[in-house]
Copies of this chain bind each other. A is one copy, B any other.
Amino acid sequence: MDFRKIDNLSVDCVLLKIENKSLKVLLRKRNLNLFTENLPIVDDWVLPGHYVLKSNNLGETANRVFEELTGEKHLNKNQFRAYGNAARINTETDLLWVRSRGATTRTITVAYYLILASNKKLLNSNGVEWFNIKNLPQLGFDHKKIITDAFDDIKSKINTEPLVFNFMPVKFTLNELQTAFEVLLDTELDNRNFRKKITSKSYIVPLEEKRKGQSKKPSRLYMFSNDVYNQIVETGYIINI
């Protein structure tokens, strides 16, 4: 195992969840205090990430980031794009930061996103914070673009892959699922039609269990069956452009 960093290759991670009817991204506080004169002080937010170690794969590096934050292994991450423009790191702040890490100013980063269930708690919240994706703070590097690209990727897949269910706890209500769609697609959906459509799917399985106390009338819980989904999906695949 070679623990040296590849000094021009990093992995950045977009963690996402839905909370209070909005989509949230996890960001890490970046600060660098230099007590010498004139130098700008770095004080903004970036995506959590790591440089890739000589004997780590890209996916392993992403796993490391995700595990440190969530405490879980084998997460269902998604690589969606690489960023490697020559001038990607060009503000004084970013240059300072990169040099302080002993890395190259031409760094290629491979970006992954991970969708968390809304009831998921972080293992380690030191220096990180959830932000509404519609109201991001000052971000370093090209991380704003990376977040936008992650979101776009999710939106483009939401209708053809069972991605939404990653935002759900194992057992969820139909209204929670509806909210997820509404947040992601940024529309309102008719509740009655939504239910009809969803309950017609064999892979969304109603449970006997109900959830009481959270709303007026107790709501039935459902779960997503990946097994059933994989049997079914092959079919519905005809032109729709």
Q: Please report A residues at the B interface, Cβ cutoff 8 Å.
A: 6, 8-9, 52, 54-59, 79, 81-87, 106, 108, 110, 156-162, 164, 181, 185, 187, 189, 194, 197-198, 201, 237-241
Contact = CB atoms under 8 A, between A and B. Distances in A.
6 contacts: A8-B8, A56-B86, A160-B240, A185-B238, A187-B237, A197-B239
Contacts of A238: 185, 187, 189
B8 A240 contact: no
Contact of A52 (B56, B84, B185): B84
B86 A239 contact: no
Contact of A6 (B8, B54, B58, B201): B8
Given A8-B8, A160-B240, A185-B237, 16 more contacts: A6-B8, A8-B9, A9-B84, A57-B86, A58-B108, A59-B85, A82-B82, A84-B110, A156-B157, A158-B239, A158-B241, A161-B241, A164-B241, A189-B239, A194-B239, A201-B241
Contacts of A197: 239
Given A8-B6, A108-B108, A110-B82, A159 B241 contact: yes
A84 B106 contact: no
A86 B55 contact: yes
Contacts of A57: 84-87
Nearest to A83: B58
A207 to B, nearest CB: 19
Contacts of A86: 54-57
Nearest to A182: B239
Nearest to A229: B241
Contacts of A8: 6, 8-9
Contacts of A198: 239
A106 B84 CA distance: 17
B6 A159 contact: no
Contact of A58 (B85, B156, B194): B85
B79 A58 contact: no
